[in-house]
């Protein structure tokens, strides 16, 4: 099956799966020093690339933070102390 891009509806059909690409164009006021640091730390070539990279990193960190709420809540998993004890027995 051939992949193709439909510019009018902004989606790509891949085989039988339809993938939507959503982008948001907006004007925001970002302090120049913060943007310069973001470009430096991300090694981005453009301002847009730096902002997208920073957003992805922020979202990843927030998802990881959300996961920590579940730490130690599964009764079927062993604790780190139990794992260390098992490793010492070897």
According to DSSP, the residues that pair with 4 across neighbouring strands are 13
In the prediction, which pLDDT does 71 show? Answer: 76
The whole-angstrom separation of Cα 51 and Cα 23 is 13
Q: How far apart are CA 59 and CA 77, in angstroms?
A: 27
The answer to whether residue 82 sits within a structural domain is yes
* Structural domains in the chain (count): 1
Position 79 confidence tier, pLDDT thresholds 50, 70, 90 = confident
Q: Is residue 50 part of a domain?
A: yes
Domain assignment present for 57: yes
Report yes or no on 9 lying in a domain: no
Decide: 34 and 41 in contact? Cβ < 8 Å.
no
List, for residues 44-65, the tens digit of each pLDDT value: 999 999 999 999 999 999 999 9
Domain with 66 in it: 28-89
């Amino acid at each position: 099956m051939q992949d193709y891009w439909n510019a009018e509806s902004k989606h790509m059909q891949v085989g039988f799966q339809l993938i939507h690409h959503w982008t948001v164009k907006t004007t925001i006021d970002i302090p120049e020093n913060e943007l310069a640091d973001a470009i430096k730390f991300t090694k981005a070539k453009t301002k847009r690339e730096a902002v997208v990279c920073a957003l992805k990193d922020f979202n990843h960190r927030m998802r990881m933070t959300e996961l920590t709420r579940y730490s130690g809540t599964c009764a079927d998993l062993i604790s780190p102390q139990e794992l260390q004890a098992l490793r010492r027995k070897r």
